[in-house]
């Protein structure tokens, strides 16, 4: 896992090259909406891209992480199926329903049944290298989403410049990123992280939560600001030093949200002494997001190493899949 995290920017660069050289058939119809289907490490990219391109996308983008697809899906819907293994049962069921509705279908995968279906039906698809835990393949699976949305004229650019800027920033800052991750690791050991972020960065907060869950084998939760100011904030009423607040901060966070964060800190301080602010680096939302994702990945790995646990072990998920296979 450490090697995969170290290769994050290499994965991004490799994926961009693969995407640029993937032959996609032209599409001349009209797309009214987009549904991105995927779960876990394969689905988080959809959550993040939908926020990054929100001001650029020509139509609504909905994220689906279930077995069933929404009723609005029709022949003018682009259904983008994402499954790193190509065998995620929920994603395959969603694909089957999209086929029944004659939706426009595109896929991102490393192989499996999804690749076979895409090739058999001549669906546009981008194939990325396989063999990694899905959560460790984010750098490979994320860029193709931009290329596919650009191909169908949902967004106006493929964001290559921003990806390249992010790669440069992360590579230049790698040593300091690891140092910061080490400091944060020490503060989170034996704590329950409570993760907060601006609403436009919820996907990044979810990614960090998932990495803490899977890599560090810890429970935690996340919420977004300003929404949590209308509910969860009221729940901060009891002193609990087992909680550790983590706040993702970005220069482009809305100015009133930044003020809310400052006021929120004065409330959190009454109930826990562990409050960690993590500032992104970059000149765009995409660059900021990739920086925070990489830093978060390091934190989750270092916690696991400190606890002496196997980062890649997911026995409980394997057990669940085995039980489902009996149905």
Query: How does pLDDT run across 200-249, given as a tens digit for each residue?
Result: 999 999 999 999 999 999 999 999 999 999 999 999 999 999 999 999 99
Average pLDDT, the chain: 96
Does 54 share its domain with 121? yes
Residue 294 falls in the annotated catalytic set = no
Query: How does pLDDT run across 126-176, given as a tens digit for each residue?
Result: 999 999 999 999 999 999 999 999 999 999 988 999 999 999 999 999 999
Does 154 share its domain with 184? no
> Which CATH number goes with the domain that contains 220?
3.40.50.10490
From 68, 179, 259, 321, active-site residue? 321
Q: Is residue 318 part of a domain?
A: no
Does 196 share its domain with 222? yes
From 230, 262, 323, 326, active-site residue? 230
Residue 321 falls in the annotated catalytic set = yes
What's the number of domains the chain is made of? Answer: 2
Q: Collapsing DSSP states into helix, strand and coil, what is residue 257?
A: helix
Does 92 share its domain with 181? no
Instruction: Tell me the residue length of the chain.
Output: 327
Does 152 share its domain with 194? no
Query: How does pLDDT run across 85-122, given as a tens digit for each residue?
Result: 999 999 999 999 999 999 999 999 999 999 999 999 99
Does 78 share its domain with 209? no
From 214, 222, 223, 281, active-site residue? 214
Does 153 share its domain with 40? yes
What band does 314 get if pLDDT is binned at 50, 70 and 90? confident
Spatial separation of the C-alpha atoms in residues 105 and 273, rounded to whole Å: 49
Which structure tokens are listed for 190? 């034996």
Residue 230 falls in the annotated catalytic set = yes
Does 67 share its domain with 149? yes
Does 153 share its domain with 185? no
Q: Containing domain of residue 201, as a range? A: 176-307
Report the pLDDT value the prediction gives residue 270, as an integer from 0 to 100: 98
Q: Is residue 168 part of a domain?
A: no
What are the phi and psi torsion angles at 188 (to 5°)? -95, -15
Report the pLDDT value the prediction gives residue 174, as an integer from 0 to 100: 98
Spatial separation of the C-alpha atoms in residues 57 and 256, rounded to whole Å: 25
Q: Is residue 319 part of a domain?
A: no
Report the pLDDT value the prediction gives residue 51, as an integer from 0 to 100: 97
Q: Is residue 104 part of a domain?
A: yes
């Amino acid at each position: 896992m450490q090697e995969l995290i170290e290769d994050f920017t290499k994965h991004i660069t490799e994926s961009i090259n693969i995407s640029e050289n993937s032959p996609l058939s032209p599409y001349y119809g009209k797309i009214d909406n987009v549904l991105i289907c995927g779960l876990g490490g394969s689905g988080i990219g959809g959550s993040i891209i939908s926020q990054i391109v929100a001001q650029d996308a020509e139509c609504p983008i909905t994220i689906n992480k279930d077995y069933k697809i929404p009723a609005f899906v029709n022949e003018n819907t682009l259904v983008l199926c994402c499954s790193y293994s190509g065998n995620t049962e929920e994603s395959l069921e969603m694909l089957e329903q999209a086929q029944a509705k004659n939706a426009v279908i595109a896929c991102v995968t490393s192989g499996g049944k999804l690749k076979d279906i895409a090739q058999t039906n001549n669906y546009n698809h981008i194939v990325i290298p396989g063999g990694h835990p899905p959560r460790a393949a984010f750098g490979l699976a994320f860029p193709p989403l931009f290329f596919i949305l650009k191909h169908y004229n949902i967004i106006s650019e493929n964001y290559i410049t921003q990806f390249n800027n992010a790669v440069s920033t992360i590579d230049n800052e790698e040593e300091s990123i690891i140092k910061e991750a080490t400091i944060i690791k020490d503060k989170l050991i034996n704590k329950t992280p409570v993760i907060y972020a601006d609403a436009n960065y919820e996907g990044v907060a979810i990614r960090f939560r998932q990495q803490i869950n899977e890599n560090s084998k810890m429970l935690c939760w996340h919420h977004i600001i300003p929404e949590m100011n209308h509910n969860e904030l009221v729940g901060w009423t009891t002193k609990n030093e087992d909680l550790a607040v983590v706040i993702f901060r970005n220069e482009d966070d809305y100015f009133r949200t930044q003020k809310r964060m400052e006021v929120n800190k004065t409330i959190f301080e009454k109930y826990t002494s562990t409050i960690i602010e993590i500032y992104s680096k970059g000149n765009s939302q995409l660059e900021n997001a990739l920086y925070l994702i990489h830093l978060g990945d390091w934190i989750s790995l270092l916690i696991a190493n400190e606890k002496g646990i196997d980062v890649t072990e997911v026995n409980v998920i394997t057990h669940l899949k085995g039980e489902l296979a009996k149905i």
